Chain A
């Protein structure tokens, strides 16, 4: 069946602009439309040639270890806790693991910070593990352990403040942060005379571990009196609304 209404959606299908329902409808059409099949195959083939001709960019150092390490680590988790395998015809809505995301995110962060704060490039070369880098950052400053409120007794978090060129950077490491509902985030706050200042969002991985590194641009001279972590319904909150799960006084 060759229905033009559907054929006209091929571009939006290929470029991922259809919602789930439209995509399912289109895929049904695709099965029956040799024209669309042929055109899609041609697009993919031509794209592969363009991709092979793309300017070569050197992958960052240590990427292979990180990527393969994350894949095989995920593998172990999956064996323990098998997930459903949705076989999607295009690719949609597949989550990358938080673990991978976090490791990946933290390395450039931590590396940048190491250079600016500690100025010791050897650490970057020697320690590619996120945990170690974060540990190093924490060890370098005065660490404060946060105390849990009653409902969150298993949680652990420690933080340190670094000061460079008049700006403060907060490094915080968390463990057993597992109690989030859909859409909620952990938010870190610094307080002075009960006035809160937003100091970063914490997105823990599947094991409840997370790190945040946050630079406070316009608060260089403040002597904070409290640090607190709350559960917030939205990461965009500029003032805390949710419950405090952990806190500490400076």
Chain B
């Protein structure tokens, strides 16, 4: 007896906690993994996921079905939250003093996940579609999507004029889209 995302969202709008729980279970791993990709931190990723579902629960009318899939909306909120939380942590580093002090022990209780994540972190390329791009295009995609760099930061990192960033990005994303679409024939996952 599975309910669709729309039904779950309708349910939680009406204040049904069970619907939020079901939605959480359905997307926990996806959003956590994505948050980890953005933040490279398990602690922040958990904070991000909590922030996302807090917003979903508290701002119950914010999602509009006409604007697309619920999962896409959740991913967008996750991204924004990851950006905010990562930047805030960089400024308010004092909040992490104490944690940093005991960090050497952290791996011991979390090692399987930690090791796996480290291994994956080394991989700059997250999927075949990106792999098919040339090196500069791969970098621009990573800097733009996963590092959330500003236009000027991208220009600096790639050593290209500021004014050309957007056109380079468009080109890279266009190729990425082309590379992805053939693989997507026959339906998408998760839905």
List residues of A whose CB falls within 8 A of some B CB: 8, 10-12, 15-17, 41-60, 63-64, 66-68, 70-72, 74-75, 78, 85, 87, 90-94, 96-97, 100-101, 104-105, 108-109, 111-113, 115-116, 121, 124, 169, 185, 200-201, 203, 212-215, 217, 235-236
A105 CA / B99 CA spacing, docked (Å):
8
B46–A66 touching, CB < 8 Å: yes
Partner of A16, one of B53, B87, B113, B123: B87
Main secondary structure of the interface of B (DSSP, over half): helix
A203 CA / B68 CA spacing, docked (Å):
40
B49–A59 touching, CB < 8 Å: yes
20 new A-B pairs (CB below 8 Å) besides A54-B37, A71-B53?
A: A11-B169, A16-B80, A17-B151, A41-B68, A48-B76, A57-B113, A68-B21, A87-B62, A91-B81, A91-B84, A93-B84, A96-B51, A96-B85, A109-B102, A113-B102, A116-B102, A116-B108, A201-B95, A201-B97, A214-B98
Residues of chain A within 8 A (CB-CB) of B79 are 47, 51
Residues of chain B within 8 A (CB-CB) of A97 are 54
A16-B110 contact given A105-B43, A115-B105, A201-B94, CB 8 Å threshold: no
Quick one: which of B71-112 are within 8 Å of A by CB?
Answer: 71-72, 75-81, 83-85, 87, 94-95, 97-99, 101-103, 105-106, 108-110, 112
Q: CB-nearest residue of chain A relative to B151?
A: A11
Main secondary structure of the interface of A (DSSP, over half): helix
A213 CA / B102 CA spacing, docked (Å):
9
Residues of chain B within 8 A (CB-CB) of A50 are 126-127, 130, 145
Partner of B32, one of A15, A59, A124: A59
Residues of chain B within 8 A (CB-CB) of A75 are 57-58
A87–B98 touching, CB < 8 Å: no
Q: B118 to nearest A CB, angstroms?
A: 11
8 tightest A-B contacts by CB?
A: A91-B80, A235-B94, A112-B105, A17-B150, A48-B72, A15-B148, A51-B34, A215-B101
Q: Count of B residues near A, CB < 8 Å?
A: 84
A116 CA / B184 CA spacing, docked (Å):
48
Q: Is B173 close to A, CB under 8 A?
A: yes
Q: CB-nearest residue of chain A relative to B50?
A: A67
B169–A57 touching, CB < 8 Å: no
A202 CA / B123 CA spacing, docked (Å):
37
Q: B182 to nearest A CB, angstroms?
A: 13
10 contacts between A and B (CB under 8 A): A12-B150, A44-B68, A49-B184, A49-B188, A52-B30, A52-B190, A59-B45, A71-B57, A100-B47, A116-B105
Q: A35 to nearest B CB, angstroms?
A: 12
Residues of chain A within 8 A (CB-CB) of B42 are 60, 108
Q: CB-nearest residue of chain B relative to A17?
A: B150
